[in-house]
Amino acid sequence: MLRMWRQRVTLTDLVIWGLGILILVGVVWGSIQTLRLGKYTLAIWYDLIITGLALGGVYALIALGYTLVYGILRMINFAHSEIFMSGAFTATFAADALYQAGWWNSYPVLSLLIVLLVAATVSATIAFSVERIAYRPLRYAPRLVPLITAIGTSFFLQYTFRGLYGSGQKGYPDMDIFQGAIVFGDVRILKTQLVAIVGAVIMMVILFSIVQYTKIGKAMRSVSEDKETAALMGIDVDRIISTTFLLGGISAGVAGILFLILFPVAHFFMGFVPGLKAFTSAVLGGIGNVPGAFLGGVLLGLLESVGPSLFLDGLGIPAPYQLKDAIAFTILVFILIFRPTGILGERMAQTKL
**What's the per-residue H, E or C state across 328-343?**
HHHHHHHHHHHCCCCC
* Residue closer to other proteins, measured from CB, 208 or 263: 208
Full DSSP string of 103-151: HHHHSHHHHHHHHHHHHHHHHHHHHHHIIIIIIGGGTTS-THHHHHHHH
The identity of residue 223, as a single letter, is V
Residue 286 CB, nearest approach to other proteins (Å): 14
Select from 269, 248, 249, 273 the least CA-distant residue to 119: 249
Residue 160 CB, nearest approach to other proteins (Å): 33
* Residue closer to other proteins, measured from CB, 174 or 238: 238
Angle (nearest 5°) at CA 53 between 294 and 289: 5
Cβ distance 225 to 72 under 8 Å? no
* Residue closer to other proteins, measured from CB, 191 or 218: 218
**C-alpha distances in Å from residue 164, one per residue of 167, 191, 275:** 9, 32, 21
Helix (H/G/I), strand (E/B), else coil: 242 = helix
Residue 81 CB, nearest approach to other proteins (Å): 29
Residue 225 CB, nearest approach to other proteins (Å): 5
Binding site for other proteins (CB under 8 A): 215, 218-219, 221-222, 225-226, 228-237, 350, 352
* Residue closer to other proteins, measured from CB, 231 or 317: 231
Residue 8 CB, nearest approach to other proteins (Å): 31
* Residue closer to other proteins, measured from CB, 302 or 344: 344
Residues 227, 141, 127, 164, Cα dihedral to 10°: -170
Q: What's phi and psi for 74, nearest 5 deg?
A: 55, 45
* Residue closer to other proteins, measured from CB, 141 or 198: 141
Cβ distance 243 to 64 under 8 Å? no
* Residue closer to other proteins, measured from CB, 192 or 351: 351
* Residue closer to other proteins, measured from CB, 191 or 352: 352
Q: How many residues can be counted in the chain?
A: 353
Residue 212 CB, nearest approach to other proteins (Å): 10
Residue 352 CB, nearest approach to other proteins (Å): 5
Q: How far apart are CA 293 and CA 64, in angstroms?
A: 6
Residue 187 CB, nearest approach to other proteins (Å): 40
